[in-house]
Structure 1
Amino acid sequence: MSERKLNVAVIGAGPAGIYAADILSKSGVDVAIDLYERLPAPYGLVRYGVAPDHPRIKTIIDALYKILQRGDIRLLANVEVGRDITVEDLQARYDAVIFATGSDRDKPLNVPGTDLPQVYGAADFVSWYDGHPDYPRTWPLEATQIAVLGVGNVALDVARVLAKHAEDMLVTEIPDNVYQGLKDNPVTDVHVFGRRGPAQVKFTPLELRELGKQPDVDVIVYEEDFDFDAGSEQRLAEVKQQKMVVKALMNYAMEEEHTASRRIHIHLFASPHEVLADEDGNVRALVTERTELVGDGTVRGTGVYTEWPVQAVYRAVGYFSSPIPGLPFDENAGVIPNDEGRVLGEDGSALPGLYATGWVKRGPVGLIGSTKSDAQQTIAHLVADAEAGRLNAPAGEAGHDAMVALLDERGIRYTTWQGWELLDAYERKLGEDFGEVEGGRGPRERVKVISREAMTRVSRGEDGGADLDIIGSPEER
Structure 2
Amino acid sequence: MENHTTRPHHVAVVGSGPSGFYAAAALLDADLDVRVDMFDRLATPWGLVRAGVAPDHPKIKSVSAQYDKTARREGFRFFGHVHLGEDITRDELLERYDAVVYAVGSQTERRLGIPGEDLPGSIASVDFVGWYNGHPDHVDLAPPLDTERAVVIGAGNVALDVARMVLLPEADLRATDTADHALDALVASSVREALICGRRGPREAAFTTTELRELADIDDLAVVADPEQVPAGIADDDTLPKATRRNLEILRGFAEHAPDPDAGHRMEFRFYRSPIELRGDGRVEEIVLGVNRLETGEDGRTRAVDTGERETVATGLVLRAVGYRGMALPGVPFDDETGTVPHEEGRITGRDREYVVGWIKRGPTGIIGTNKKDANETVRHLVADLGGRAPAERDEDHHAAVESWLRERCTDLVDQTGWEAIDAHERGRGEPAGRPRVKVVDRAEFTKLSRP
| 2:272 counterpart (269, 272, 294) | 269
Partner of 1:448: 439
Shift of 1:395: 7.2
Match of 1:469 in 2: none
Change (3 A) 1:61 1:31: same
Report the CA distance between 1:222 and its aligned residue.
0.8
Q: Is the 8 A contact 1:91 1:394 kept in 2?
A: no
Name whichever of 196-205 and 2-11 sits farther off. Answer: 2-11
**Partner in structure 1 of residue 72 of structure 2:** 69
Change over 3 Å in CA distance of 1:323–1:127 after alignment to 2: same
Q: Which residue of 1 aligns with 2:286?
A: 285
Give the drift of 1:136. 2.7
Rate the CA distance shift 1:377–1:312 in 2: closer, same or farther, 3 A. Answer: same
Do residues 203 (structure 1) and 207 (structure 2) align?
A: yes
**How well do the aligned residues superpose, as a CA RMSD in angstroms?**
2.2
1:303 maps to amino acid: G
- C-alpha displacement at 1:203, in angstroms? 0.2
1:163 aligned counterpart, secondary structure: coil
Q: CA deviation at 1:336?
A: 1.6
Aligned to 1:303: 308
Question: For residues 71 and 431 of structure 1, what CA distance do their matches in structure 2 show?
Answer: 30
Residue deviations 1:247-275, cap 9 Å, x none? 11111111113221111111011122222
| Of 166-175 and 47-56, the range deviating more from structure 2 | 166-175
Q: Which residue of 2 aligns with 1:241?
A: 243
| Aligned match of 1:41 | 44
Indicate the residue corresponding to 2:375 in structure 1: 375
| One-letter code aligned to 1:181 | A
| Distance in 2, Cα, partners of 1:394 & 1:332 | 40
Secondary structure of 1:56's counterpart equals helix
Report the equivalent of 2:329. 324
Written as runs of structure 1 = structure 2, the 5 A alignment for 1:1-20 is 2-3=4-5, 4-20=7-23
Question: Does structure 1 conserve the Cα–Cα contact (< 8 Å) formed by 2:223 and 2:259?
Answer: no
Corresponding residue SS for 1:146: strand
Structure 1 distance, partners of 2:395, 2:307, is 65
Match of 2:385 in 1: 385
Q: What is the deviation of 1:318?
A: 0.4
Q: Matches of residues 32-431 of structure 1 in structure 2 within 5 Å?
A: 32-137=35-140, 138-226=142-230, 237-258=239-260, 259-277=262-280, 280-295=281-296, 296=300, 297-344=302-349, 349=350, 351-389=351-389, 393=392, 400-431=399-430
Contact 2:116 2:277 in 1 (8 A): yes
| Cα separation, 2, equivalents of 1:102 and 1:323 | 11
1:438 corresponds to: none
Are the counterparts in 2 of residues 287 and 305 from structure 1 also a CA contact under 8 Å?
yes
* Deviation by residue 1:366-410 (Cα, 9 ceiling, x = unmatched): 110000110011111112222333x99577788532321212232
SS of the residue corresponding to residue 191 of structure 1 reads strand
Change (3 A) 1:394 1:331: farther
Identity in percent = 39
- State the partner residue of 1:466: none
For the residues of structure 2 that align with 1:197 and 1:358, how far apart are their CA atoms? 29
Q: 2: CA distance between counterparts of 1:426 and 1:116?
A: 38
TM-score (norm 2): 0.93
Structure 2's unaligned 5+ residue stretches are none
**One-letter identity of the residue aligned with 2:249:** K
Give the conservation status (yes or no) of the 8 Å contact 1:10–1:98: yes
Counterpart amino acid of residue 249 in structure 1? L
Q: In structure 2, how many angstroms separate the alpha carbons of the residues matched to 1:115 and 1:394?
A: 53
1-structure distance, mates of 2:116, 2:236: 35
Structure 1, unmatched stretches of 5+, are: 435-442, 462-477
> For the Cα contact (< 8 Å) 1:94–1:392, is it kept in 2?
no
